[in-house]
Amino acid sequence: MNDKIIILGAGISGLAAGYYLKRSGKSSKIFEKNHSWGGLCDNFTINNFRFDRFVHLSFTEDKAANDLFLNATPYIRHTPNPFNLYYGKWIKHPAQNNLYPLTEEEKVKILNDIKNRKEIPVDKINNYEEWLRTQYGDYFAEKFPMRYTKKYWQTEARDLGVKWVGNRMYRPSYDEVALGCRSTETPLAYYAKEMRYPEKGGFKAFFTTLAKDLDIQNRSQIMEIDYSEKVIKDEYGNMYSYDILISSIPLPELVKITKDVSDEVRLAAKMLRCTSGYQLSIGLKTKSIPPYLWFYIYDEDIPVARVYSPSLKSADNAPDNCSSLQLEIYCNENKYSKKDLIDKSLNKLVAAGVFKIEDILLTDLRFEKYANVIFNHDIYKNRKIVRDFYDNIGIYTIGRFGEWDYFWSDQSFLSGKLAAELILSEKGSNGVLNY
C-alpha cells in the first residue's frame, strides 16, 4: 500500500524530501503557496535582470548535496572575495585580521585588546557579546560585529546565545592581526575557500534535479491542518487526506493553521523570534561597480547590512554591459516605507561611491517576513516545546524555519533528505530529525 504523503513547502528542504521519497518509489504531493518552487532559493526576472531571493553561493562539502547540485547544471567556481565597508574604508573580510585601512590609533587599540584577551571556555560564556569581547577585545567587538549584530538580527549581542556560532566567525592569532595591520597581503581566512554558482538560471538551477517530475501544486496555500483526522485544507476549501505529513512552513505559521494546539505550544511559537528583511534589487547600465561578490556595511546611519552582486556571480544575470546589486535590509516586521529605504540606503551608497544614481535602470523592492532565525536565550526551550508537539502528532518539520535553525542551503537540503530516509526506514515515526 502506498502511503499518501503530503509535503508543505517547495523550498529546498521540501524538494529534497520529495526527491528522495520518489527515488525510492514513494510519491508525494507538494503544496507551495508561491507561483513557483524554490522558496528562498527562488529568483525573479525584470527586464532581463535576474535576482535571487536572499541567497549567496554554494560552498557545501557534503557529497550528496554536491552530487545533486553540481550535476544539475554547468557552474562557475568563485574564490570568495568579500569585503567590508566601514565609514568610507574598504576592508577585506574578515575584518579582524585585515585592519590595514584603519587609523594607527584604532590598530593599536585592537592589537592591545587581542594581546590581552582572556582564554575563557565557551561553556563559561553567557552571551554573544561576551563571546565577541573574549575573541576580539572590546574595541573591535563594539565597532564591528556588535554593530553588525544590531543590523542583521535587530537585537543586541548580549541578547543572543553562542551555540549557533560554530565556524562562522574567524578567531585570528595576535600575529595574524598584526600582519593585517601592516599589510594588505593577507591569506584568505574566510570559512569557505570556493563558492559555486550556476552559469545560467540563477541559484535555483542547482535544484532542478530535485524538482524534476515531482508533483508540485503551486499557488496553493494550506490554511488548516486537522491532525486527528489527518486532513489539510487549502485556501480554496479543498480538502486532502494524508498518511504522512512533512512541513517546511515556519513553525509560528504552522502552529497558527494547526487545530487543537495547546496554549503552551502557541505561546512557545509566539516566542520564537526572527528577522524580516527587505531586498532592494538594482539594475545598472554600467559594469562599474565594486568588484566584490558581496560586502558588509557597518555604518550605523546606513540600514543596509549586506550587498551582493548577481551579475558578478554570473554574467547571465544581467544584460550585456550591465550589472546588478542587491541590498539586504533587516527589520522586525515591515517598518520601512519605500521612500525611507531609498533615502537611507540607496542614496547613502551613492554617496559612498558604490554606484551612480544616473546609472540606475531599475529598482525593485521586496519584503520577506521570515529572513533569519534569532538565537536569543529562550530559543532552544521554546523550539523544543513546539517541535515536540509535532513529533508527538507525527508531523515532520524540516528546513531552516521548520527546524528553526541557522541553516545554509545544503543543511536545509540534508534536513529534507533525512526526513525522507526516516520515513523510508520505517524508523521515523517519532518525527525527530537528529544529525
What confidence score (pLDDT) does residue 49 get?
Answer: 98
Give 263: exposed, middle or buried? Use CB within 10 Å, 0-12, 13-18, 19+.
exposed
Rg (CA), the chain: 23
Q: Which of 168, 101, 108, 106 is nearest to 135 (CA)?
A: 168
Task: Please state which CATH number belongs to domain 5-33+220-272+376-424.
Answer: 3.50.50.60
pLDDT of residue 334: 58
Q: What percent of the chain has pLDDT over 90?
A: 84
Lowest-confidence pick of 30-34, 93-97, 114-118, 155-159: 114-118
Residue of 343, 415, 329 lying closest to 372 (CA atoms):
329
Ranges of each domain in the chain: 5-33+220-272+376-424, 94-182, 274-373
Give the 3-state secondary structure of residue 160. strand
Say which CATH topology domain 274-373 has: Polyamine Oxidase; Chain A, domain 2 (3.90.660)
Place of cell 578567531: 171
Name the β-bridge partners of 397.
Answer: 247
pLDDT, mean of residues 319-340: 86
Q: b/e string for 215-238 if b means 16 or more Cβ within 10 A?
A: ebeeebebeebebeebbbbbeeee
Range of weakest confidence among 340-349, 371-380, 382-391: 340-349
For the chain, the average pLDDT equals 92
Q: Residues 195-224: what's their mean pLDDT?
A: 97
Predicted pLDDT at 427: 45
**CA-CA distance, 387 to 395, in Å (whole number)?**
9
Distance set, CA 131 to CA 158, 367, 425 (Å):
9, 32, 41
Checking if the pLDDT of 283 tops 90, the result is: yes
